[in-house]
Amino acid sequence: MFAMIGTWEMSLQGLVLGGRTLQKGGDAGDAVVEAIQYVESNPDYVSVGFGGLPAIDGQVYLDAAYMNGDTLQCGAILSCTEVSSPVAAARALCGRKTNWMLCGESAKQFARSQGIPLRDMRTEPSQKRWKEAVEQKKADEASVPYKGHDTVCVLGLDSHNHMVCGTSTSGLFLKEPGRIGDSPIPGCGYYCDTRYGAAAATGLGEDIMRGCLSYEIVSRMRSGQTAQEAAEGALLDFVRTMDRLEEKDLSISLIALAPDGSFGAATTEKLFPFTVALPSGVRLFSCSPDGDHMNILQTSSVTLDA
């Protein structure tokens, strides 16, 4: 048995590649990194990697993380420029006792030392988007710079019962340089414990970090909840807490994967697409809120045949 789950439709082709690796008996870590790298290298996906969303100064700052569920070891890079595969750098850091979370220039130099190519991650379309947004912001100071969330998160389970998770993002559009969201922070943007399961979050990081939502999901699975029950329960309880604080309009989506390959998702969005790779193929699902529950529907599928 193997399984992978990824956020957003942009993860579909990456899960096809990673799913083929798992189908051949490959390692979950290799499959997860392969899936995320496909998104990182594709400039059509404007919120991750090459061609990602620029900060207010026009530069593309990258965050990524990787966690080994067998050892609970993590690796992460934060607010880093020019690293062609942030998730590869994060994986290379995983296993260190100390200094496994690096930011800025230190992260870039570490990536270079690992043979990860450096490149200017800005593209013509991303710079055009940035210039237009800056002009609009000047014209309307009340405007919100970015609505939505598009971190790529992938959770993986291989046939050897090894679980890992990875995340990669360029973060909030027009963010202040140095701003960090949930994606590289363990327990918030991701968490993985092979004994109980894995979870990851995509959304407004400042809110997700207030609930440590990925750890909360895995904790609920440790208590016996299914992946779907854990994702739904963690999100709904957090929404109720924020309601009590009179904070509305949350932008959060969550995915979860159990050690038996079952999965779950939850969202505050009207529609949250996510993808799942199983031996039967890769499926695209939609998740939407329905009162205290989530409606999850399969919308399409592709095979893992090469």
- Under 8 Å CB-to-CB from 200, ≥6 apart: which residues? 7, 153, 154, 155, 165, 167, 189, 190, 191, 214, 254, 255
Active site residue 151: yes
Among 123, 134, 113, residue whose Cα is nearest residue 51: 123
Which of 81, 151, 167, 268 does the annotation list as catalytic?
151
- CA–CA distance from 88 to each of 99, 114, 192, 269, 284 (Å)? 16, 9, 17, 30, 25
Helix residue ranges per DSSP H, the chain = 12-23, 28-40, 86-93, 104-113, 124-139, 205-211, 213-222, 227-244
Q: CA 87, CA 65: separation in Å to the nearest integer?
A: 6
Q: CA 183, CA 148: separation in Å to the nearest integer?
A: 15
Backbone angles phi, psi at 38, to 5 degrees: -60, -40
CB atoms within 10 A of CB 42: 16
Q: Which two tokens stand for residue 205?
A: 């990081």
Question: What residues are annotated to the active site?
Answer: 151
